[in-house]
Amino acid sequence: MANATQKSARAAQDPRYRSFRIGAYAFYLAVVSAVSIQIIRGVVGSVMEMTPPRRPPAEVTLTVPECLQRAEGLLQEMEQERARLSRQSASKMDLSWEKFRVGWEERYRDAESRCALDSRAREPLRDVFDRLSKVMDLLTTSAVQFAGEAGGAVDGLRASLEAARQAASGGGPKK
C-alpha cells in the first residue's frame, strides 16, 4: 500500500507530465474565473436594476405639506401592495414584490429629489423619507423570507381548504 502511494507521488513529480499539469491548472483557473465573473455580473446587474440611483435636486421644490403628502402616498402604496400580495400565491410573493419595488423606488427617488431633503430646515422631512425607505427594505426582506420559508405551506393550505370546500358542497375534489 505504501509502495503504491510512493509511486503515485513520484509520478506526480515526473517532469514529463509538467506541461500537462500546467495546462490542467490553467484550464481549471479559466473555467473558475469565467463562472465567477458571470455570477458577479449577474448579482451587480440585479442590484443596480432594483435600486435606482439618487436623482439631482429638482428645479422646482415642493412645499413641506406636499412632500408629506407624497410620503404618505408612498406608504399607502406599500401597504396596499402588501395586502394585495397576501391574497395571492404565497410562494411567488417575493417576485411580485420585487416588481412592485422597482417602480416604487422610482417614485420614491422622484419625490426625494423634489423635496430638497438636504436642506437643514427640512431635517424632520428627511427623517420621514429615511424611515420610509427603511420600511420598504424591511418589507422586502419580509416578503422574500415569507415566500421562501412559509410560501409553499400557505399555498398548500389554501389548496387543501379549496378541496375541502368542494367536497363539502358535493362537487368532489377538483382535478
> Do the domain assignments include residue 135?
yes
Q: What is the pLDDT of residues 34-76, one digit of tens each?
A: 999 999 988 887 777 767 767 777 677 889 999 999 999 999 9
Domain assignment present for residue 3? The answer is no
Q: HEC states along the chain?
A: CHHHHHHHHHHHHCHHHHHHHHHHHHHHHHHHHHHHHHHHHHHHHHHHHHCCCCCCCCCCCCCHHHHHHHHHHHHHHHHHHHHHHCCCCHHHHHHHHHHHHHHHHHHHHHHHHHCCCCCHHHHHHHHHHHHHHHHHHHHHHHHHHHHHHCHHHHHHHHHHHHHHHHHHCCCCCCC
The pTM of the full predicted model, rounded to 2 decimals, is 0.64
The verdict on residue 160 lying in a domain is: no
pLDDT in tens, 127-175: 999 999 999 999 888 888 877 777 778 778 888 888 898 888 876 555 5
17: in domain: no
Domain housing 122: 51-150
Task: Please tell me the total count of domains within the chain.
Answer: 1
